[in-house]
Amino acid sequence: MIYDFDDAIWIPVTSEYNQSVSGIKNFSKISSICRWSYRVSVGNEFLAQYVRRFNQDIAIIPTVVDTDKVHNTLQKQDSENPAVGWTGTFSTLHYLDMVIPVLNRLQTIYDFSFIVIADKDPRLPVKNYKFIKWKKETEVDDLLNFHIGLMPLFNDDISKGKCGFKAIQYMSLGIPAIVSPVGVNSKIVDNGINGFICDTGNDWFEKLQLLLSNPNLRVKMGKEARNKIQAHYSVRATTDAFRQLFN
């Protein structure tokens, strides 16, 4: 048995949106499954540190996208009304609390939209706000409404277990990502090259302002972002590592 996971699934967390299944969740089983497994595959070093307590045969394979057949379009960055965007589940929208004041402040200066792709409309208190309901069939086309992608995170163990899928998706489409310096975010995004890593409210404001006011910088960073994903976070780049799981 090969066990694979890409979140800190051993940490008991239940949101108000999935309480109906909280009673059947058994978080303690994760350690046992790790012990029983021939090999464990995880998406980052933080997850691997947990697994090493129970199993030494570990493969770290990052979350990837298919840059050949699916995420294979480069965003055009010449829009006069750029859009800042975020995608995720309704239960993780609380991460946006740290950037909504920044967005509201910036919208007094710049003409831009803020787009959320999720399973449910949060009706955020942001001007020029647009909601797109997530659909697997249109996910890539919907993401191409973004010119800048956000991935704010809190500095906690749940966030450290995340594997950066939002940033990877944005960057694969030539969309510069602005992320919090938590977990693999700092490994995926090369600060100032293919996106920005922001810690404070002032950081978020300055870096968003820089990208909103400079379409040429968005183009340059978008190309660098695409190159980074193709080289390290694509199906093609990790095929050999995946095959090694079965050796």
The model's pLDDT over 166-209, given as tens digits with 9 standing for 90+, comes to: 999 999 999 999 999 999 999 999 999 999 999 999 999 999 99
Length of the chain: 247
CATH topology assigned to domain 83-232:
Rossmann fold (3.40.50)
Q: How confident is the model at residue 25 (pLDDT cuts 50, 70, 90)?
A: low
CA gap 247, 239 in Å, rounded? 13
Q: Residue with structure tokens 């960057």? A: 171
Is the pLDDT score of 18 beyond 80?
A: no
Task: Retrieve residue 139's tokens.
Answer: 């996910």
**pTM score, whole prediction:** 0.93
Task: Locate the domains of the chain by residue range.
Answer: 2-60, 83-232
The residues with which 191 forms a beta bridge, in sequence order, are: 195
CA distances from 67 to 38, 58, 170, 230 (A): 30, 26, 12, 7
How buried is residue 128: exposed, middle or buried, by Cβ count under 10 Å (0-12/13-18/19+)? middle
